[in-house]
Structure formats: structure tokens, C-alpha cells
Amino acid sequence: MGSEKESYLIVDINSHQTKAVFIERTGDGYGVEGTSETPTTVDPPELDVTIGVEKAVRGLGQKLGRELWVSGKPSGAHRLLCSSSTSGGIYMNVAGLIRNISTESAQRAALGAGALLQDVFSYNDPQPRFRMIERMRSLRPEIFLLAGGTDGGAEAQVLNMAGLIEEADVKPRFGDGYKLPVVYAGNVDIREEVSKVLTEDRYATRAVDNVRPLIETENLGPAREGIYDSYMEHVIVHSPGYDKLVEWVEGKIIPTQAAIGKILYAYAQERGVNLLAVDVGGATTDVYSVYDGVFNRSLNADIGLTYGISNIMKEAGIENIMRWMPGDISERKVRNIVGNIMALQPESLSDEERMVQQSAVREAIRLGLEQHKNYATRLKGVRLLRDLGMMFEQALEPSILNLMKTQVVIGRGSIFNDPENLKIASLLLLDALQPWGLTEIYVDISSIMPHTGMLLDSNREAALQILSKACLRKLGTCVAVKGKAEEGVEALTVSMSTSGGVSVEETVAYGELKTLPLGAGESAKIVVNPTKRFDVGVGRGRSLDAKVTGGEHGVIIDARGRPFGTPIKKEALSVWAESLKPRPVAPATKT
């Protein structure tokens, strides 16, 4: 790992683009030497994913002046890694015994591995057996994950669920002649019995360690690895050209979403922070979180900004789209714009279309966050010893997701790469997620986060270095208050002293959003004094004394309260956006 010229050729293949990245060690660490992308060629007329890979790698070689493709394949002079997601995730079904115990753990394992969940089945499901059989039969997953029973625990019920799959005769998504991969992650004592039910003539069953070996223990890693192995051996090899690609690649090809999750988890662990990341695509919205070292991912399928924008309007309601729009625009026009974006997917947007899209992304993230709370939960079925304070906290927050304890927020997706949207990206994330207390805000400007996730196992140092240097752009640090008051009532005072000795003081009223100028890489000490009815994460009326770092939007003071609704006066929306524009430091006072 320590060679001076260690280099990596990393390719990510999604449904539209195949992107190649060349990473190399230089004198001052690891860097991205170049990138190249080309349309993915897994569909007709090419029907060979390696055609797109070759074009991307050759294009990258031309940019770098290197021979990266030799004799019809990668040169082999560099370590080739690959992630892939040509359908938005692995189409998976999950089955377990108790819906909110083993089944829930299995769901988390599947989603963490990059699954697009089609349906979830459980032994204690109230619907009749024949209905579940009908539903299973109608779905054609790429992988089926079966869990249930603690180790040495339930047996008959688990075998009953295996029998349900067998009786439904579940077929794989592609190719009737192929075996359906089943990952069994339940009671280890009955592995052989399960394999006898799911016969090898129809199912490629892989047994891994139990996702719930004890009622109070969750063990998701082996199930995720089992999913990756089944994905490699029984899923992608049936896609055009992947059989050749697998021979060239070092290690496993894993789903793009899993690669992103791996690097986000590593980043949160490296910094020791609680993290919340949102990835808004054209047809899906992913939410990733790491709280107290626990990773979770959720996927809101069919919710996105091109193919899925009409579903945002359907699920959120047209009134929730329109509440974020500062101008006077009719409901009919908003509906027409949504329909046109979905059908035409224009490369450039008018001001009104951009306004609708910015409104839609807030609602996509809000919907994704609400769904994510259902997955990022404490283990069910565990008997907890709690004092009165803990009982109160857990009653209020069944989810482990805690927006007061969220130290880092990351936005990802093409919406955050657009220069116009980037100007108010902090506002889009704050409006949708509403973190409070002290939160750092970043966006991914590179689209190479999956590549860093693939690099992680081979070279953790390089992966984290590139994530910080080439992927994440810091927009700023936000201090947000919780509480409510009348508009205009003083909410807090804040003083900031920069490392350069410049002092700034501001008074912020309830309903206001203000920024204190502090550039990227600059640090400062801030003291926030809320009035008695407001809390900045340390208790109502208590002062916050902290060190912060800046970004493109400086230090954002958000006194709109938590939770907040949209203002009665629409002009406030424009004022909030205007407040993020860079402003010079007021006449500075040297300390």
C-alpha cells in the first residue's frame, strides 16, 4: 500500500453513465488525476457493458497521456475496481418471522447492501398465506433474503417461511432458466433444513451468520457480504458483458449505493460525528445516516427530480410544493411544469422551472427523511433498563435519528452540482431536514463518491483523503434554534471572533436567517446567547460556546425555530435566499 506510485483505475456504472476515475499517489498524498464518462452500454443496441467501460477508460487515458487499455482490456498496470447500479439498486424481497424484529433487521441489511426493496413478508403477517404466495409469485426479485429466529431459537416458523418461498416458486428477475439467489441469515441451527426446502435445482441458497443471533444483538455485516457475493455470482454475470468485466476487476463489484454507504460510514467513524446524507436522483431518493456508530440507509423509490418528480407532487401534495415558491404562480402552471420536467427532462431550466424543481427537492428530502426514521430505529423486542429521563426521551424518539445531535449534513445529486442551485443549497437542506443546534453542511460536487467507496477496502487513507479534498465542499456551519415566538421577537445574540482577530456581533430575531462571513478553511469562536424560550442544543436559554469553521455560506444563524412552517408572507422566502449571498465583514473590530 505504501508504494510511491500506487494507482487505481475505478469505474462506476449506472443506468445512464459509465464514469472512470484515475487515482494516484503523489508527493503530498493521493489525488484524482483525471475522470472520463460515457453513456452506459448494457442496453440495446450495444448489449455489452464493457463497450462503455472501454470508451470511458480510453477517454481517460487520452486525457492523461497514458495507455490504460491494451489488447481489448484494461492494461493491468493499475488496480481496477468497479461498482455498478444499472437499475437503481438490487431488486430484493425480504422475509422473516416477526415484522418488527427479525424482518426489520433483514430490511436494514438489504438496504445497507444497496437493495431496492420490492416487498417485505413476515410469519406474523395478518394476510392469508395464499395472498402472500400470490404476491411473491408476482414479483421477480434479483435476490431473496430470508431471516428469522435467534440462533437455537424458532425452527418450525422459519421453515414455514422457506416453504412459502418454495410454494410460490419465485422466479429471478431475468432469465427463467436461472436459479434465484436466496441469502439465508436466520437461525444457524437449521441451515441444512432450509437448503432442503429451497432445493438446489431452483434456488442458489447461501447461508450466512444470523442477522439477529440474540434478541438484543443485530449482526448485519455477514448478510450484506452474502448479498454482495450472490450479486456477483448469480445476478450481474447474467447482464450483457459483465462476465468479461468480472474477470478484469479486482475484488467484488458491489452496488453503487453500497459503495456510497461504505465511504459515508467510514467518514463518520473517522471524524467521530453523527451524519445525515441525502442523495436525490432522477427516479430515487436515498437517505444515509450514521448515529452513534450505527449505519442505516433507506430508499424512496420513484421519488426523484426527473422521472419521479410527479410522484413527489402526488405524495407530498401540490400545496406542499407551492409553499416553497416565493413568486405568484398558479397551481395549473406548477402542474404543467412538473409534467414537462418528467416527460422532457430538459437540459436547462427556466427560472420558473428551477423554482419548481427547488421546491420539489425540499419535499423529496422531507419524504425521504420521514421514511428513513422508520428504518433507523432502536432494536425492537429488547428489554431496556431505563431511568425516567431515558423513558421520556425514547417515548419521544423511537428513531435513533436525532436532528439535534446531527453534526454533519451532506447533499448529493445533480441538483447540488448546478451552479444556480449551489447558491442556495444550504437553504434547500436546512428547509427539508431542519437540523438544530450546531451542524456542518456539505455538498458532493464530484459525483465520484462511489469510487471512493470502492477504494476504501484497498486503501482507506486514500479514500478518505479524496472524499475530503475532491468530493465534499463545505457550504458552512449552521446554528439553529428550537422554539417558537412571534415574528420579529429577539431570539438570540451571537458574537464571533475569527482566528485572525476580527470580531462580529449580531442580534437575530425569530423568523430570520442571517449569515456571518467566514471563508472555507477559516475558523472562529462563537458565543450564542438565546433568550429564555429558545434552545441551541444545550438547553433552553443556555449559551453555546463553540469553535466553528466556515464555508461558502459562512456561519448561518437560523432563528426560524424548530419545527418551522413556511411563512405567511411569501417574500420571506426570497429574503432567506438573499441572506446566503456573500457579504463583506462589517467594519471589523480588532480584539
Q: In terms of domains, do 528 and 547 share one? A: yes
Q: In terms of domains, do 97 and 166 share one? A: yes
563 cis-preceded (ω within 30 degrees of 0): yes
Is 246 a domain residue?
no
- CATH, residue 192: 3.40.50.280
Q: In terms of domains, do 436 and 296 share one? A: yes
Is 590 a domain residue?
yes
What per-residue confidence (pLDDT) applies to 2?
Answer: 40
What per-residue confidence (pLDDT) applies to 583?
Answer: 62
CB atoms near residue 111 (< 10 Å): 28
Determine how β-strand 73-74 pairs with β-strand 490-498. Answer: unpaired
DSSP 143-170: EEEE--S-TTS--HHHHHHHHHHHHHTP
Domain that holds residue 372: 256-480
The three cell numbers locating residue 35: 475522470
Q: In terms of domains, do 405 and 273 share one? A: yes
Is 249 a domain residue?
no
- Predicted TM-score (pTM) of the model is 0.92
Cβ atoms of residues 469 and 438 within 8 Å: no
Is 1 a domain residue?
no
Q: In terms of domains, do 56 and 29 share one? A: yes
Spell out the alpha helix ranges (H) of 415-530: 419-422, 425-433, 449-455, 460-466
Element (H, E) at 508: strand 502-509
Q: In terms of domains, do 418 and 510 share one? A: no
The three cell numbers locating residue 586: 462589517
What per-residue confidence (pLDDT) applies to 33?
Answer: 95
Q: In terms of domains, do 501 and 463 share one? A: no
- CATH, residue 379: 3.30.420
Q: In terms of domains, do 143 and 81 share one? A: no
Cα-only R_g, the chain: 25
Identify the segments of the chain with pLDDT beneath 70.
1-5, 382-398, 582-591
Helix (H, G, I), strand (E, B) or coil at 393: helix
Is 63 a domain residue?
yes
Residue 165 to residue 194: CA distance in whole angstroms: 11
Residue 508, φ and ψ in degrees, nearest 5: -120, 130
Domain count, the chain: 4
What per-residue confidence (pLDDT) applies to 384?
Answer: 45
Is 248 a domain residue?
no
DSSP 231-252: IIIIIGGGSTTHHHHHHHSSS-
Q: Where is the domain boundary, 480, 504, 527?
A: 480
Is 513 a domain residue?
yes
Q: In terms of domains, do 462 and 497 share one? A: no
What per-residue confidence (pLDDT) applies to 565?
Answer: 78
Helix (H, G, I), strand (E, B) or coil at 345: coil
- Give the dihedral sign, CA 258/261/267/268: negative
Q: Where is the domain boundary, 447, 480, 513?
A: 480
Q: In terms of domains, do 327 and 378 share one? A: yes
Closest-CA residue to 316 (of 276, 364, 283)? 364
DSSP 514-564: EEE---BT-EEEEEEEE-TT-BSSSSBT--EEEEEEB-TT-EEEE-S-SS-
Q: In terms of domains, do 73 and 94 share one? A: no
Q: Where is the domain boundary, 184, 208, 238?
A: 238
- CATH, residue 18: 3.30.420.40
What DSSP character marks residue 323?
Answer: T
Is 2 a domain residue?
no
What is the per-residue pLDDT across 6-55, written as a single tens digit (0 to 9) for each? Answer: 899 999 999 889 999 999 998 788 999 999 999 999 989 999 999 999 99
Q: In terms of domains, do 374 and 442 share one? A: yes
